Amino acid sequence: RTVYLNGNYLPETEARVSIFDRGFLMADGVYEVVSVLDGKLLDFDGHMARLKRSLNELSMKNPLSDEEYLDAHRRLVRDNDITDGLLYLQVTRGNPGDRDFAFPPEDTQPTVVMFTQSKPGLADNAGAAKGIRVVTVEDQRWRRRDIKTVQLLFPSLAKMEAKARGVDDAWLVEDGFVTEGTSNNVYIIKDGKIITRELSSDILHGITRAAVLRYAREAQMAVEERSFTVAEAQAADEAFYTSASGFVTPVVEVDGARLGGGTPGPIATRLREIYLEEARKAAI
Ligand code: PLP
């Protein structure tokens, strides 16, 4: 695989980053994941806009222009022959040459890494056809979840707990209300209404979320942005999650309670179709 490191395209075995890199020592970095379908990038502009916001919130400079990010994405997709898959992009505060809590001098260059992951059949995965099962776990992440940082240890622990309990993912809960999934935004549907938590620093502002809510409103579906409890989720008619890699994926069980008879509901299924169709059309 060819990967990108600070302006260079290298075989993955030759791409090296310093042990003093702030990404490695302090998880001081941000990332994005863009989906690739039929060799084209989905929601690229949205992901770049969020990247710039994340960098800005952490007072990190943006090392590349939008054209440079786009060129690099396209080159990696081409060189690695990606039809369906993901493009991972990470920017860290770079290598100050030592370990210190204070930020390094202004002229320290950020470290930029990009690589592809080939996922043949990404748009027709089994989870989407059958729906996934989730358990709830207390949300113990920091309070700036709107910044897409590489501090992913808690979501990783929650995902492992879900697996240990025999299900696919965890929904995180704070003060009795669901925040989001370990790596996705979550929704319930009751009496035809799509309910999802409002945007704040409690959740990541999903790029797929923004697109799906726009398509839902355009299709005259009712959308309510508010917090919901685990009990409400368990009593819902349907549920689903959104993310760049999972698009719209139905959720059929929450803490052992089956929704809609345990099979994907009509609205989640329809939204997945609409999202995939529209996102493919707009892909670049
Ligand atoms: N919420 C969290 C915590 C995530 O990690 C992600 C994606 O990785 C999402 C939501 C979904 O965001 P997006 O649709 O931009 O992929």
Q: Is the entire prediction scored with pTM above 0.90?
A: yes
pLDDT of residue 188: 98
Tally the C-alpha atoms within 13 A of residue 191's C-alpha that lie toward its C-beta: 2
pLDDT of residue 98: 97
pLDDT of residue 47: 98
What confidence tens digit (pLDDT) does each residue in 53-99 have? 999 999 999 999 999 999 999 999 999 999 999 999 999 999 999 99
- Mean residue pLDDT of the chain comes to 97
Instruction: Judge if the beta carbon of residue 243 lies within 6 A of ligand 1.
Output: yes
- 120, burial (CB in 10 Å: exposed 0-12, middle 13-18, buried 19+): exposed
What per-residue string of b and e applies to 152-191 under the rule 16 or more CB within 10 Å gives b? eebbeebbeebeeeebbbbbbbbeebbbbbbbbbbbbbbe
Right CATH for 2-122 from 3.40.47.10, 3.30.470.10, 3.90.660.10, 3.30.70.20:
3.30.470.10
pLDDT of residue 128: 86
Measured in Å, residue 244 CA sits from the centre of ligand 1 at 7
Instruction: Judge if the beta carbon of residue 246 lies within 6 A of ligand 1.
Output: no
Name the DSSP letter for residue 21: -
Determine which helix (DSSP H) or strand (DSSP E) holds 83, and give its type and residue range.
Answer: none
User: Is 163 marked active-site?
Assistant: no
Residue in the block written with tokens 């620093």: 201
Query: Which residue owns the Cα nearest ligand 1 atom 3?
Result: 183
Does 126 score more than 80 pLDDT? no
Please report, for the chain, the start and end positions of each structural domain, with discontinuous segments joined by +: 2-122, 126-282
Tally the C-alpha atoms within 13 A of residue 275's C-alpha that lie toward its C-beta: 30
**Share of residues in the chain with pLDDT > 90 (%):** 98
What confidence tens digit (pLDDT) does each residue in 228-250 have? 999 999 999 999 999 999 999 99
Instruction: Judge if the beta carbon of residue 204 lies within 6 A of ligand 1.
Output: yes
| Within this chain, domains 2-122 and 126-282 share the same CATH topology | no
Q: How far apart are CA 91 and CA 55, in angstroms?
A: 8
What confidence tens digit (pLDDT) does each residue in 142-171 have? 999 999 999 999 999 999 999 999 999 999
Architecture in CATH for domain 126-282: Alpha-Beta Barrel (3.20)
Q: How far apart are CA 108 and CA 94, in angstroms?
A: 6
Instruction: Judge if the beta carbon of residue 206 lies within 6 A of ligand 1.
Output: yes
Q: Which of 52, 148, 159, 281 is catalytic?
A: 148
DSSP helix/strand/coil, 133: strand
